[in-house]
Structures are given as structure tokens and as C-alpha cells.
Chains A and B, each alone.
Chain A
Amino acid sequence: MATKRTGAGKSGGRDSSILAKIANHEIANKGRRAACDAVYVSKKLLRSTGKAAWIVGTSFLILVVPLLIQAERDQMLGEIELQQASILGPPPPGALQ
């Protein structure tokens, strides 16, 4: 097989033909195809993971975050009321209600 690869060999002539032989071998072709497939699949996986992460992330932001904020505010309100009740104590019998 005449080699057409111009940049393959460092020293010209016989070395480049051996390198070219290796590079054009059947197994090397298979390896190249497998690498292309792997890159394609991993790109798709990354894209679908990204899409899923976006959907889950925005839905979490809408459904869960306001709930957590409001629940925490309600809990703090309860604590403040408890503190005030314990500091002020029960109102005296003649107090203005």
C-alpha cells in the first residue's frame, strides 16, 4: 500500500511506511470508530443529563424553595412567640387585654 500520509513519519522512507502500515491496519480503524462512538455517546449523555438537571433544578426552585422559606419563617415566629410568653409571663388579673 503506497502511503499518502505526509506528516506521519519523522524520518522519511521505511519508518514512515511502517507507521503508515500500523495506522491503516484493521484494528486501528476499529479503534478509531470505537473512539468516535464513545465521544458521540458521551456527548449525548452529557446533553441529556444537562437537560434533566435543568428540569429538576428549576422545578425544585419553584416547588420546594418557597415552601422551605415559609416554613422557616413560621418556625421563627413560633419561637419568638414562645420567648415572649416566657419573658412576659402570664398577664396579671387586672391588666388591660
Chain B
Amino acid sequence: MADLFPPLVTAQIDDKPKVDEKVDYSNLPCPVPYEELHREAYMSLKPDTFEGLRFDFTKGLNQKFGLCHSVMMGPTEVPSQSPDTVIKIPTAHYEFGANYIDPKLMLVGRVMTDGRQSARVRADLTDKLMVKANAQLANEPHMSQAMFNFDYMGSDYRAQLQFGNNALVGANYIQSVTPRLSLGGEVFWVGVPRKSGIGYAARYETDKMVASGQVASTGLMAMNYVQKVSDKVSLATDFMYNYFSREAVASVGYDYMLRQSRVRGKIDSNGVASALLEERLSMGLNFLMSAELDHKKKDYKFGFGLTVG
């Protein structure tokens, strides 16, 4: 195996005289996990805008254990028959949660006043093997879901196996091909609507930009690009195309991380402009404001909130 590597390295140097250091193909970095491929793009382009009031209070009782209380009041959308009208019903609920966070074990549980419960477990069994479990229980029958993931981290690759309810089985694999480029693929099989799918993904990153793309046999093709213009500003753009239903959406957004605040804004080709502003009023006190204007459907949503702790 080692005999194959030296010819590859010298060929690289002959083709690109600008490369000033030898690429050591036997010592590549570990790639990001498959589900976090688009992490930078989605951090900028998908801020969680909300409608109404949101109040979160987190209290740490210990170094590892904490409780959190959260109140959310506002209209929630109900799917309606025609795509033009939106039906909103005012709701309010309170959520209580407990977190236990350890370097090797993380347990998170949440309970809401409308009867929904959710739990997340993340445990490092060995240095390289990690188990994640995620469950959500709801009052209505057949609405509960659970998912288990087993992750194995190799020296320059990651492999993951997934099992979920409704007989969902999936696997994905991602490998670093050069220090900047990583390629991966996934397959899954769902039992209830019997279908299976396969997908491929690629991610290229330097310290100034990240570009990633994903294609899946469910008809989804997504590409995104994030450029870090300075250490406070980053701009991102995203293109999603469904080749079965022939719909395409493109969006452009920015993310300004200033000392006392963080502003994220995005405009879409569906005519949606949204922004989220998080401002640090004092130590541990954050004030959130969110706005979303949908010019096509004439649906305007505004929200404000406070996060303590």
C-alpha cells in the first residue's frame, strides 16, 4: 500500500508548481460528519426565525447538569388546502428540559405542555465509536419517532449506520480525498412507503471558503458556497433543485458576528426576506428579534424573545 503513495505525490508537484508543500496522503485530516456537510451554509442561511414571543431560561445546577424552562406564545401555521392562504392558530406552550453534558456522555430531555416529549442521547463508547439516539413521543398515535445512529471515526474517514422506526435503515460514509476535499455517499431504505435511495456528497474547504454539494435519488440536488470575507462577516449562497418536480430555489445571505450582536439576513428566490438579530444586553442575557416577509403569499411574521443563561 505504501508503494502506491510516492508516485502520486510527485505527480502532484510536477503538475502544479505553485504547491509549496508535499501533500501527505497518508495523513489526511478527519472529515466532518456526513450530516454536518452543509453546516457553515445552514448556520448562515437558515436562522431559526420564529413568530411570537419566546423566552428561554437555562440554569446550571452543577458543572454538568442543568435545567431549562422555555415559554413560547404565538401563532402556528396549519396546513391549508389552497397554497395561497395561510391559516394560523394562536398557541402557547411551556417546555421543561434537563441536560447532562459530559465529554463522553450527553443526555438531553424535554417535556412540553401539549404532551410531547423528546430525548437525545450521545455516548462515546470507545475513542472511535459513538452512539446517538433520538426519540420523540407525541400524543397522537403513530406520530412518535425514534432513531439510533452508530458512528465510527477512522483516521481519515467516517462511517455511520442508522436505524429508525417505520423500518428505516441507512448508512453513510465520507472520506477525505485531499486535505481540502472530502467525498461521501449514503444509502437508505424505508419500510413504510417502500422506497430506497442513494446519494452522493462532496465538500471542498479552504480557510476562506467552503463549497459543498449533494445529489440524492429522491430528486434533490443542493449546492452551497460560503465565503468568509473577514473574521466578522461571512456571505453564503445556496441553490436547491428538485429534478422530479422541476422546482429550483436560490438564496443569498449574510452573517455578521459583531462583538455585542449577531445579525443574519437572507433573501430567497421565492420572494422571502428574513432576518434574525441576537443582541447581548449583558452577561448571559440575549435579546432576539426575528422577521420574515413572504412577498408572494403576503405573509409577514415577526417575533421577539429573550434568552437567559
Contact = CB atoms under 8 A, between A and B. Distances in A.
A38 interface: no
Contacts of A55: 271, 295
Interface of B: 254, 256, 258-261, 263, 265, 267, 271, 273-275, 277, 279, 289, 291, 293, 295
A70 interface: yes
A66 B276 CA distance: 9
29 contacts: A55-B271, A59-B267, A59-B273, A59-B293, A59-B295, A62-B265, A62-B273, A62-B274, A63-B265, A63-B267, A63-B273, A63-B275, A64-B265, A66-B265, A66-B277, A66-B289, A67-B254, A67-B256, A67-B263, A67-B265, A70-B258, A70-B263, A70-B277, A73-B260, A73-B261, A74-B258, A74-B260, A74-B261, A77-B259
Interface string A34-68: 00000000000000000000010011001110110
A interface majority secondary structure: helix
A64 B263 CA distance: 10
B interface majority secondary structure: strand
Contacts of A62: 265, 273-275, 291, 293
A55 B273 CA distance: 10
A70 B279 CA distance: 9
Contacts of B259: 74, 77
Given A55-B295, A59-B293, A66 B258 contact: no
Given A59-B293, A62-B265, A66-B263, A71 B258 contact: yes
A9 B145 CA distance: 86
A70 B256 contact: yes
Contacts of B256: 67, 70-71
Nearest to A67: B263
Nearest to A58: B293
B271 to A, nearest CB: 8
Contacts of B267: 59, 63
Interface string A60-94: 00111011001101100100000000000000000
Interface string A6-35: 000000000000000000000000000000
Nearest to A78: B259
A66 B273 CA distance: 14
A74 B261 CA distance: 9
A66 to B, nearest CB: 5
Contacts of A73: 260-261
Contacts of B277: 66, 70
* Of listed A62, A64, A70, A73, residue having the most chain B CB within 10 A: A62
A62 B254 CA distance: 13
A63 B49 CA distance: 13
Given A55-B295, A62-B274, A77-B259, 10 more contacts: A62-B293, A63-B265, A66-B263, A66-B265, A66-B277, A66-B289, A70-B256, A70-B260, A73-B261, A74-B261
B280 to A, nearest CB: 11
A66 B258 CA distance: 12
Contacts of B258: 70-71, 74
Contacts of B289: 66
* Of listed A58, A64, A67, A73, residue having the most chain B CB within 10 A: A67
A19 B150 CA distance: 94
Nearest to A64: B265
A74 B258 CA distance: 7
A71 B256 CA distance: 9
Nearest to B254: A67
A59 B274 CA distance: 8
